[in-house]
Amino acid sequence: MGRKLDPTNKVKRGPGKKARKQKGAEVELAKFITDGKDLFRLSKIFFFSNQLLPIERAAKKEKKQKKLMDLGSEDDDDDEEEEEEEEEEQEDDGDEKEEHQDEDMDEDGTLETNTDDVDRFRLPDPEESEKEGMLSLDLKTIHQRIKDNVDVLCNFSAKREEGKARGDYVSLLKKDLCTYYSYNSFLIDKLMELFPLSELVDFLEANEIQRPVTIRTNTLKTRRRDLAQALINRGVNLDPIGKWSKVGLVIYDSSVPVGATPEYLAGHYMLQGASSFLPVMALSPQEGEMVLDMSSAPGGKTTYIAQLMRNTGVIVANDANSERLKSVVGNIHRLGVTNTVVCNYDGRQFPKVMGGFDRVLLDAPCSGTGVIAKDPAVKTSKDEADILRSAHLQKELILSAIDSVNAESPSGGYVVYCTCSITVEENEWVVDYALKKRNVKLVPTGLDFGKEGFTNFKQFRFHPSLKLTRRFYPHSHNMDGFFVAKLKKFSNVVPTVPAEKGEGFSYVSFVPGISTVQRDQMEKRDGSKPKTKPNGTTFKPTEENKSKSGPKKAKIAKMDGEGVKAAGVKKPTVKADVKNEAPKSDKNEGSRFEKKQAKKRKKPTIVKKRLGKNKFQKLKTMLKKHERE
């Protein structure tokens, strides 16, 4: 056996991994070090991170590597010498560290300032910001700057840079957030108003991650335990969604497509987001009730209501989009729902169609700021006009939903309003509007988790009961952003706006087949109060206005007739003229304006006759006086 094959003997075959790494570090370090100041600064940093690389130590290691290369394979005495050399190097390093410590004790002030300069976050200069505009920065650099900026803003008084205002840091943070997460400036401003800075980054990060896939067990056909066992046998990794739901399952991964299993096609479960469970749980429909789902597509909430009602009662599933109703019909048939009627009406006009429901669920169309993970286009496509347009539509829908509910229902009278948006304009603002316009009040949703709604936000001041509403966020609850509010209707009487200040409310009784627009028109017709102009003055009808109306024209005609009778001069000729002129106007078929002019021409003739009569009487009196004289 040769020496090389003897396992007891260690043979040196040149520099190992450690030596090669050391040499590479020294070469790279030499490229960056140009001045003595930089060398001193780097030595300080390496010293405090326990990674000091003294030049003498590097030189000794180089000599040792050369000796090993020259010697090649020799006796085992080399190992003992290496151990001795390493011990000497450790002693030398210890002495050097002590010397450095002594020097640092003498230069404490300078050392502290150097470390503070390295750790403190500084705003970029105008020249640097210009360079950033010309050259795109690395995303890692921007992400680190966002973290440092948020840290400074959270403890601004202690960590801010002298001479810099908070607005400078906030503007830089907005710019970096828009660049890193690809949002427009409007949406970033909205989110910064909603969340504190420490929570804002968590929300934005959560929107970059897809929410877990969740399914809802259809208890009309199976139980959750049996469904879970069947899916596990097919290679699906799943767990219960949580203690708050008895029918939900969360799927982590699957070896088969979840939307094409035999269990799915048989209607044993429905693919549905966790946040969509919440409004139905808040509605809590009872067996035998009459329930309206005002915007039902694609049918997840409708079928959940049906399984809670155990296919009893009646559910009206409405949606304004006829194309989306196809998915509702398909899911209803697949899941075995038999108590649902599908219809296609505009939700704003639904009280015209029918009313008297026990409960109404309104999942209003919104801007979608809570489901950015599903639809990233929301980041750049939404602006202020979109938010206000959605809020206006939601206000109309919530009023029609309230008008569709019967307050005298023995078990119901509830309306659940929900959106997949997190903006205040689409949530608390809409609910507060409904509280002012209808006889409703907020009640607890029955959900054990979620954050309370806002009662004051910027310039808005809402009703204190809005704390009973619930908000859900992706970074807090690992589900889509959602808002849920539950309203109880306590009277079918609709309050209307008073005509003048200081007067009480007037009331109109509730009629199920009449819309809100028609009800307002009825109030205007029936109102006996004088109309008011915008400047506050009352509107008084004049003689010209009276002459324009039908019944008042008849009165004037009677007066004219009496005057003509009193005169006793050529009355039949006037009637004959009128009879002769009427067919001419029909034959000519002139405009309304011409007809009005023709009518106006008749009156001066009568007036002239009256004036002639007066002149005749005056002449008569004058002649009598003359004769007496």
Q: Is 356 left (phi over 0), alpha (psi -120 to 50) or beta?
A: left
Alpha carbon distance 306, 335 (integer Å): 10
Residues 6+ away with beta carbon under 8 Å from 355: 403, 404, 405, 406, 512, 513
346 is an annotated ligand-binding site residue: yes
Q: Which of 541, 575, 544 minimizes the C-alpha distance to 560?
A: 575
State residue 441 phi and psi, 5-degree precision.
Answer: -140, 155
- Give just the sign of the alpha carbon dihedral 396, 400, 401, 406: positive
**Whether 176 contacts 139, CB under 8 Å:** no
- Chain-centroid distance of CA 573 in Å reads 77
For residue 367 the two structure tokens come to 């801007």
Rounded to whole angstroms, the maximal C-alpha distance in the chain is 178
DSSP secondary structure string for all residues of 16-85: -HHHHHHHHHHHHHHHH--SHHHHHHHHHHHHHTT----HHHHHHHHHHHHHHHHH-S--THHHHHHHHH
Cβ-contact 365, 393 below 8 angstroms: yes
For residue 458, give the amino acid letter: K
**Both structure tokens of 282:** 């808040």
Catalytic residues: 420
Q: Dihedral (C-alpha) 160, 162, 168, 169: value to the nearest 10 degrees? A: -20
319 annotated as ligand-binding = yes
Structure tokens at 573: 């000729």
In which residue are the tokens 């003509």 written? 564
Bridge-based pairing of strands 290-293 and 470-472 is unpaired
Q: Which two tokens stand for residue 566?
A: 């009193």
Please indicate if the annotation marks 125 as binding a ligand: no
Q: Which two tokens stand for residue 439?
A: 């006889």
Q: 255 labelled as ligand-binding?
A: no
Q: Are 478 and 211 in contact (CB under 8 A)?
A: yes
Is 300 among the annotated ligand-binding positions? Answer: yes
Residue 396: count of CB within 10 angstroms of its CB: 17
| DSSP class per residue in 258-273 | GGGSHHHHTTSEEE--
Q: Which two tokens stand for residue 44?
A: 């300080």
Inter-residue contact 479 to 418 (CB < 8 Å): no
298 is in an annotated binding site: yes
Q: What does the DSSP assignment read for 460-501? A: EE--GGGGGSEEE-HHHHSS--EEEEEEEE--SPEEE--SST
C-alpha count within 13 angstroms, C-beta hemisphere, residue 50: 0
- Residue 299 annotated as binding? yes
Q: In 10 A of CB 372, how many CB atoms?
A: 24
Determine phi and psi for 322, rounding to 5 degrees. -70, -30
Q: Cis omega before residue 530 (within 30°)?
A: no
Q: Are 248 and 274 in contact (CB under 8 A)?
A: yes
Pair of tokens at residue 67 = 């000796």
C-alpha to C-alpha distance for 508 and 465, rounded to whole angstroms: 26
Residue 360: beta bridge partners?
A: 292, 415
- Measured in whole angstroms, the distance separating CA 478 from the mean position of its chain's CA atoms is 17
Spatial CB neighbours of 30, under 8 Å, sequence gap ≥ 6: none
Annotated binding-site positions for S-adenosyl-L-methionine: 295-301, 319, 346, 363
Binding-site positions: 295-301, 319, 346, 363
